[in-house]
Every structure is written in C-alpha cells, then in structure tokens.
Homo-oligomer: A and B are copies of this chain.
Amino acid sequence: MVEAVRKPRGRPVKSSSEPDGATRDRLIDATGELMANRGSVDVTFADIAKATELNPALISYYFGNKAGLMMALLRRVLGESLTNLEDLAREDVPPEEKLRVHIHGLISTYFRYPYINPLIHQLVIDEPQTFGPMIAEEFSRRAAGIQKHILDEGVAAGRFRDVDPLNFYFHIVGACDQFFHGRYQMRHIFGIANIDERRELDYADYLADSLVRGLAT
C-alpha cells in the first residue's frame, strides 16, 4: 500500500490504467473524505497520498500546492451544487418553490460537506488578498445571482415585494451558515450534540417558510 507513496523521484507515478482526469478526481475525493472523517481541514499531502496509494508528487503536479487542492475541492462540491441551483432557477417553477429548493440546496450542501466553511476560512486566513476575492467571485457571486433571479421573477409575477438583493443575500447565507457553526450554542443552550438529517431538514423547512412569508405581497 505504501509502495507508490515511497517512489522518491522522477515523473509522478500514477496508476497506468486510469486517465489523468480520473486520478485528479481520486485525489480530490480522498481529500474531501479525509476532511469529513476527521472533522478537520488539517490534512497533509502525505495523508492523501497514503489514502489514495498515489505518489504525493502527483498532488503537486495536478494542483500546485495545498491551496490549489483545496480550491479544487471547493469547486467540486460547491460548483456542482451551484450548477444545479442555476439550472433550477431557469425552470418553469413558481418563485416560492425555487426559493424553497434554493434554501434546501444550500443547507444540504453544508450538511453533506461540513468542511466547506472551515476550508474557506482557512484559505482566506492564509492568503486573504488571493482567496477572499476569488471565493467571492467564483461562489458567492453565483449564489447571489441565483437569488436575484428568483427575487426578480417573484416581483415581476406580483408574488414578492421588492427587497434589496444585498440584504437578502446576507440574510440567507448567514442563516444557513450559522446552523452548522454554532455547535457550542447547539449543545449548551439546546442540549443537542449533533445535527442529524431530520433536524437539518426541519431547519431548512422553517427557514424557507419564513423567507417566503417574509417576501409575500
């Protein structure tokens, strides 16, 4: 198992049976799994090499450095979720329903990939000038765009009152984030050690309901 990891020099060693894309995907998947299992974003190249039985030099080859790998992981998990929500925003569905699916989508993404926020935090702490703007442009802008589209449709249909998309953005993102952040509050005020799927769904239902009522004309 450790053999491939120990190959010391020369061209990166990878499995000869899989194309480049598949190797790259395996490295990203393994990184996400390690972070999810450990409950921490503190994962080294050596950890990933061991888990994938691939040479650590491959990680540098594909991603440059650890920040590059982290961004690739964010692009995978957040990018996929945002693409689904963008597709939905274009469909012929009432704006209330789109908003409900948007909220459920954001919350279930945070639930499935609990490392998203710590990962973003780590990147922005390490290199604020690079990753602050990059993450805002690549991910936040898309989420804000989807929300503005839904708001505009709802206003045009006479079903939503007109609210500032900026206020709406911070309201939604804050309410979705906080549920997975405040673990000491969850435990010490409400006596809940872990968020299970039932509670996650209950919160998404509550929040979607409150936001739709808050917008209704």
Question: Shortest CB–CB separation between residue A143 and chain B, in angstroms?
Answer: 9
Question: Shortest CB–CB separation between residue A60 and chain B, in angstroms?
Answer: 27
Knowing A171-B207, A206-B167, A207-B167, say if A185 contacts B136 (CB, 8 Å).
yes
- Point out the residue from B174, B186, B202 that lies within 8 Å of A177, measured CB to CB: B174
The tally of residues in A whose CB lies under 8 Å from a CB in B reads 46
User: Secondary structure at chain A's binding surface: helix, strand, loop or mixed?
Assistant: helix
Mark A127-160 against chain B: 1 for CB-CB distance below 8 A, else 0: 0000011011100110010000000000000000
Knowing A184-B136, A211-B210, A214-B210, say if A190 contacts B175 (CB, 8 Å).
no
Q: How far is the CA of A129 from the CA of B211 in the complex (A)?
A: 35
Question: Shortest CB–CB separation between residue A208 and chain B, in angstroms?
Answer: 10
Shortest 9 CB-CB contacts between residues of A and residues of B: A174-B178, A210-B214, A136-B188, A174-B174, A132-B184, A167-B206, A136-B184, A174-B175, A214-B214
Interface residues of A (CB under 8 A from B): 124, 132-133, 135-137, 140-141, 144, 163-164, 166-171, 173-179, 181-190, 192, 202-203, 206-207, 209-211, 213-216
Q: A132-B188, A140-B185 are in contact. List 11 more A-B contacts (CB 8 A).
A: A124-B184, A132-B184, A133-B188, A163-B206, A164-B206, A166-B186, A167-B206, A174-B181, A210-B211, A213-B213, A214-B214
